Amino acid sequence: MPKDLLLEIGLEEVPARFVRAAMDQLKDKTEKWLQGSRLGFGEVRAYATPRRLAVLVSGLADRQEDVSEEVKGPARKIALDESGGWSKAALGFARSQGVEPEALFFKELAGVEYVYANKSSTGVDTASLLSEALPALVKSLTFPKNMRWGGYELRYVRPIRWLVALHGSEVVPFEITGVVSGKQSRGHRFLGANPLIDEPGQYVARLREQHVVVDVKEREAAIMAGIRALSEEKGWHIAVQDDLLEEVLFLVETPTVLTGSFDPLFLNIPQEVLITSMREHQRYFPVLSGEGKLQPHFVTVRNGDALSLHNVAKGNEKVLRARLSDAKFFYEEDKKLAIPDAMAKLENIVYHEELGMVADKVRRVRAIADILAQRLLADESVRSDVSRTADICKFDLVTKMVYEFPELQGIMGEDYARKAGERETVARAVNEHYSPRNAGDRPPASLVGAIVGIADKIDTIAGCFSIGIIPTGSQDPYALRRQAAGIVSTLLEHGMELTLTELFEIALQVHAGRGLKREAHDILKDMQEFFSLRVKNVLTELGIRYDVVDAILGAGAGDVRRTVQRAQALQAAVSEERKDGFRPAVEAFNRVSNLAAKAESRRVDPLIFADPAEGVLYEAWQQVHGNFMTAVAEVRLVDALAALASLSGPVAQYFEAVMVMAEDQALRNNRLAVLALIADDVGTFADFSKLVG
């Protein structure tokens, strides 16, 4: 009869940012072990709090399933030796399957005889597997950071303090680091006792009785219900960010929402400072007005019940007052720092040992930004603002506020620049040039911020690539992927007439002044491949079909805006409604491109055309080429593709009438040259051979 299985790993408090991933990992590994062990089961549910990871399996079968299957071995000619006996290959196959050679037999498959073995295995009782499987499962969990304790060799996220392991009502016996499995769990550290779990189905309820809500979704619902209730009662807008909610969720076992207040005089400090201080130091949710202005209140979540909430609120208010007083002090001190003095300090801050000081980076950013502004034909006022923004874009890195809260870089720069009398466009761009800061963020809104932002990001990427720092796998310590994605999104947002190759060359030209550690063409090649993947991500996010993405990138991704428009045009052409009409064009393009690869030149002599179809195709291409180039120049990519597609008829007639690979070399070269001219146009739009179906 099926039984439930419960495994709970009791720990010292685990860092909140590790808990969800560990919970999901425990569930995933449990499911994979059950499947690999041929054990039938119902649902697998995972639970977690700061002090525990648990998994509950319902309806676990009493024993493994029996297995009986035919396993294919080598072909007959390999399985038999010259005398007709079993060869070494066949005998090795028999040993690997745990059968005697006499039990081997032959069966025909697709006209070939193979040796087979009947492999059977009788399932064993589940209980006999668990004592070894569960400790192995516990030890297999991995974490971003581990520790050791006592004299034990096990490295784990935090010391293990208790273990609950139940198969039905029976304890699964095992021991890890001196902790023996049993039935006793632990309740809330201050409010609860240590309950006995008699069988797995009692787990959630028994812990709830001891002030521990082990179900993550139930805890989240309780927090959000408390926040909504406060919001409705007070008429507040409580700003709940997902990352902060996620952290709070794994800081508490019994959540109780409460509110407190702070001195309104602190509102004279920029609200970003106050919000950051509340979030980062205290894990408080800020309270905003309907217009988005910070109010002198906060919301927090207590790890406990509602007893004496007033006193708890007063304690939180006292701590917050000290934090905000520090922030006020930093802010007032920073306002005394003149921008030129701050910029001078950048000369003494190392950016990278091979790339110089932060001041060196600023000078490179200024040089790149000035070239970009000229290249984009920006007016004089924009150029002036770009230069000034690039000059001062990093000055706030030496302020006390950014030292305390690095995530406020740019935000404080904007505020301090505005108070120092900088132009509004410059002050705003000092902040904007960091955007987009994350995957959900928008690119800079102003052209000045966009130009300086691109210059800053491409300087970082070009610098890192020039000294061999190129992201591999999941390793990207300098966030180069995010910065490259930011460049791509900014180019698209502002519709900039700037190719990636031009941008790379500008950056490498500026970096050449310090001397490049690698060859420029190698750096350029690596950067092109790196950015091609970022453009691929953009196309995928836009819903472009995978084969269309490959086809478009096969023609290059230098001009990001046109790459996206080419992809959208081709996606429409191969859509379900239009694919049959477009198929002849794809067939024509691919046939032309295959033959054009053999062309030695693009020089066409109409005087040696030997068949009327040659002249028809050449004249059709001349007309289409003009229309195609005009449409591309005017960024009408749908029309450009339609122009190319109109060649499918003349191409089909041409191949019916003409033998391209004629014996006469001059005639053959002339015909290949015509096809090469067509293939050149086609190849600038897409590699149509990559389209599927």
Q: Spell out the domains of the chain, with CATH numbers in brackets.
A: 3-63+125-209 (3.30.70), 67-121 (no CATH), 216-335 (no CATH), 355-541 (1.10.3210), 563-690 (1.10.730)
At 117-147, the pLDDT tens digits run 887 766 688 888 999 999 999 999 999 999 9
What sign does the dihedral 333-338-343-345 (CA atoms) show?
negative
pLDDT, residue 325, reads 94
Nearest CA-CA partner of 56 in 192, 276, 204, 181: 204
pLDDT, residue 119, reads 76
Burial class (CB in 10 A: 0-12, 13-18, 19+), 108: exposed
**Identity of residue 267:** L
Using H for helix, E for strand and C for coil, what is the string for 502-516? HHHHHHHHHHHHHCC
pLDDT, residue 121, reads 67
pLDDT at 474 over 80: no
Using H for helix, E for strand and C for coil, what is the string for 426-476? HHHHHHHCCCCCCCCCCCCCCHHHHHHHHHHHHHHHHHHHHCCCCCECCEC
Nearest CA-CA partner of 295 in 281, 278, 310, 312: 278
At 424-470, the pLDDT tens digits run 999 999 999 999 998 888 999 999 999 999 999 999 999 999 999 99
pLDDT, residue 303, reads 95
DSSP 112: E
| pLDDT band at 366; cut points 50, 70, 90 | very high
Average pLDDT over residues 409-429: 96
Neighbours of 514 (CB within 10 A): 14
**Identity of residue 590:** N
**CB 212 within 8 Å of CB 253:** yes
Percent of the chain with pLDDT over 70: 99
pLDDT at 267 over 70: yes
Q: Where are the alpha helices (DSSP H) in 495-545?
A: 500-511, 520-541
At 541-554, the pLDDT tens digits run 999 999 999 999 99
CA 585/CA 643 separation, integer angstroms: 11
Percent of the chain with pLDDT over 90: 76
CA 159/CA 338 separation, integer angstroms: 50
For residue 281, list its beta bridge partners. Answer: none
pLDDT, residue 108, reads 85
Q: Which two tokens stand for residue 528?
A: 């092109």
pLDDT, residue 515, reads 83
DSSP 643-666: HHHTTHHHHHHHHHH--SS-SSHH
pLDDT, residue 226, reads 95
Q: Which of 99-103, 424-428, 605-609 has the lowest mean pLDDT?
A: 99-103
Q: Distance of CA 437 to CAs 5, 147, 196, 477, Å?
A: 45, 32, 49, 15
Q: Which two tokens stand for residue 115?
A: 């040796």
